[in-house]
Amino acid sequence: MSKTLFDKVWDSHVVSTIENGPQILYIDKHLIHEVTSPQAFNELEDRGIPVFRSNQIVATADHNTPTLNQDQPIKDELSRKQLEQLSENCKKNNITLYELGHKYNGIVHVMAPELGVTQPGLTMVCGDSHTSTHGAFGAIAFGIGTSQVAQVFASQCLLLTKPKSLRVTVNGKLKNGVLPKDVILYIISKLGTNSGTGYFCEYAGNVFEDMSMEGRMTVCNMSIEMGARGGMIAPDETTFEYVKGREFAPKGEAFDKKVAYWKTLPTDSDAKFDKEYSFDAEDIAPMITYGTNPGMGIKISETIPVDENPSFKKSLAYMNFEAGESLINKPINFVFIGSCTNSRIEDFRVAANYIKGKKKAANVTAWLVPGSKQVETQIIEEGLKSIFDDAGFELRQPGCSACLAMNDDKIPQGEYCVSTSNRNFEGRQGQGSRTILASPLVAAATAVEGKIIDISRQLN
């Protein structure tokens, strides 16, 4: 029978099926961090249950970590305690931890692919909804709650009902200045924030085939923002080339054997999906959001739509925007380039390329937060740091940072932040903060101009 990429990976991981109920799905890799794991460790300890497969778990500290002075003790007592507890739990249970300051430390969805932990055909979970990122490699990867973190600790399995399948196809040639972030913001603006709920999404078409792994990760990362538990892209030569030679990637003959298997994974040509959408690449433009969910996005040159829905109006009131107005020329005082969506080397290359020879506007505070120590090192080695320094941008140390503002990187009350992160929810970047989601290019341009500009017009 014809199968989709998702079917092939899922079906090969089913341990058993409960009659009229869920399936036991085997999990290959379990990524953990300081925020959603402590209660799971406690639960196991309270119930006297040991960790079943500690060698399949990788831990990092990212959500709560400072992005300045990482070599010094963390000032915030609760944050410090949470990180200490992660270290203790990992030590006690023989789990590999890349703690703060380690050369492999970073945002879980940046460092795991970098290390070759993420590979095609695997099942991966993490107590974080952006685990969908790893689907860029043709893995089934999704976010789980803390009770499920405990279940995977205890059994390396989860009880799940197989989601339905959805395919989003984008073919054609992307316009100048349109980045992977714009592609996914465009898709979510068309489909809404819950169109993917209950589904696993495959992205297909030449637009995704032509993307780098970094770009594919940006796209899959935001699958959850349209409600899909995960997103996937078929593994191909770009994928194999990326994985090859990384720390935990198979080597030599073992790698070749894996590649031969990975080549069998793409969706069969006559496989059927439960739902399909298709878009034309030429219709996509640099995007920007104006509201308080990622589906509230427009092309940067468009005006905010008019809608009488009370939730829509509440959202615009929070943002202090008017229906029908344009965002061009809106003064912006904060710019954040970072998060598991856009903090990989390619994102900083795009920003540096635009910024080179220009200066940040005086009104703007611009934070650049690399996704990992490795990205940070690369930024320095490639000479990007000096471009950022010269332009007045601040390069910080890796972590989730102002994406969710658990640490000190908060956007003040009432301020707008053009951000490369994934969520523009009320107060997401600090109490009362107003987030405008965009690509690293739009973010860089905003920082230079001190206001939102029509980047497509400038590029042309």
Q: Rounded to the nearest whole angstrom, what is the least distance from the CB of residue 251 to other proteins in the complex?
A: 18
Among 3, 30, 36, 95, binds other proteins (CB under 8 A): 36
Give yes or no for residue 78 binding other proteins (CB under 8 A).
Answer: yes
CA distance 23 to 7: 14
Query: Between residue 186 and residue 215, which ones bind other proteins under the rule CB under 8 A?
Result: 193-194, 197-198
d(C-alpha 180, C-alpha 281), whole Å:
11
CB-nearer residue toward other proteins: 145 or 331: 145
DSSP conformation class of 387? H
Is position 400 annotated in a ligand binding site? yes
Interface size with other proteins, residues (CB under 8 A): 73
| Region for 426 from its dihedrals, namely left if φ exceeds 0, alpha if ψ lies in -120 to 50, beta otherwise | beta
Residue whose C-alpha is closest to residue 122's, from 97, 170, 156, 151: 156
Residues 355-394 that bind other proteins (CB under 8 A): none
Is 73 near other proteins (CB under 8 A)?
no
The pair of three-digit structure tokens given for residue 71, joined into one six-digit string = 């070599």
Using alpha carbons, select from 211, 426, 430, 216 the residue that is nearest to residue 336: 430
Q: Kindly write down the DSSP assignment for every residue of 330-372, as one continuous string.
A: -B--EEEE-TTTS-SHHHHHHHHHHHTT----TT-EEEE--SB
| Among 392, 426, 450, 459, contact with other proteins (rule: CB under 8 A) | 426
Q: Is 339 in the site for other proteins (CB under 8 A)?
A: no
Residue 340 is labelled as binding a ligand? yes
93 touches other proteins by CB under 8 A: no
The dihedrals phi and psi of 350, each to the nearest 5 degrees, come to: -60, -45
The correct pick among 2, 94, 363, 431 for binding other proteins (CB under 8 A) is 431
Instruction: Considering the complex, state which of residue 292 and residue 378 has its C-beta at the smaller distance from other proteins.
Output: 292
Cβ proximity of 28 and 105 under 8 Å: no
How far is it, in rounded angstroms, from Cα 398 to Cα 409?
12
Quote the CA–CA distance of 158 and 142 in Å, as a whole number: 12
Window of 92-100, 182-190, 372-380, 403-411 that interacts with other proteins by CB under 8 A: 403-411
Q: Which residues between 156 and 185 bind other proteins (CB under 8 A)?
A: 156-159, 161, 163
Closer Cβ to other proteins, 308 or 362, answer by number:
308
Both tokens of 112, joined, read 């795991």
The single residue among 4, 148, 372, 374 that binds other proteins, judged by CB under 8 A, is 148
- Give the nearest distance from C-beta 241 to other proteins in angstroms: 21
Instruction: State the minimum distance, in angstroms, from the CB of residue 430 to other proteins.
Output: 9
Least gap, CB of 78 to other proteins (angstroms): 4
Residues 279-338 close enough to bind other proteins by CB under 8 A: 293, 309-311, 314
Pattern 102-141, other proteins, x by CB under 8 A: -------------------xx----xxx-x----------
How far is residue 419's CA from residue 443's CA, in Å, rounded to a whole number? 6
Q: In this chain, which of 94, 245, 251, 261 binds other proteins, going by CB under 8 A?
A: 261
Residue choice 42, 54, 303, 333 for contact with other proteins (CB under 8 A):
42
349 lines the binding site for other proteins (CB under 8 A): no
In the chain the first and final C-alpha atoms are separated, in Å, by 49
- Closer Cβ to other proteins, 151 or 343, answer by number: 151
Shortest separation between residue 257's beta carbon and other proteins, angstroms: 11
Backbone angles phi, psi at 96, to 5 degrees: -70, 125
Which residues, at least 6 apart from 297, have a Cβ–Cβ distance to it below 8 Å? 185, 186, 188, 189, 287, 288, 289, 290, 437
Residue 12 binds other proteins (CB under 8 A): yes
Binding of residue 22 to other proteins (CB under 8 A): yes
In the list 69, 101, 103, 145, the residue contacting other proteins (rule: CB under 8 A) is 145
403 is in an annotated binding site: yes
User: Do 232 and 140 meet the contact criterion of CB atoms below 8 Å apart?
Assistant: yes
Residue 437 · residue 417 · CB < 8 Å? no
Residues 227-246 that bind other proteins (CB under 8 A): 227, 229
Give the C-alpha distances (Å, rounded to integers) separating 378 from 61, 116, 178, 343. 20, 17, 24, 12
Q: Which is nearer to other proteins, 138 or 370 (CB)?
A: 138
Q: Which residues are annotated as a binding site?
A: 340, 400, 403
Q: Which residues are annotated as a binding site for [4Fe-4S] cluster?
A: 340, 400, 403
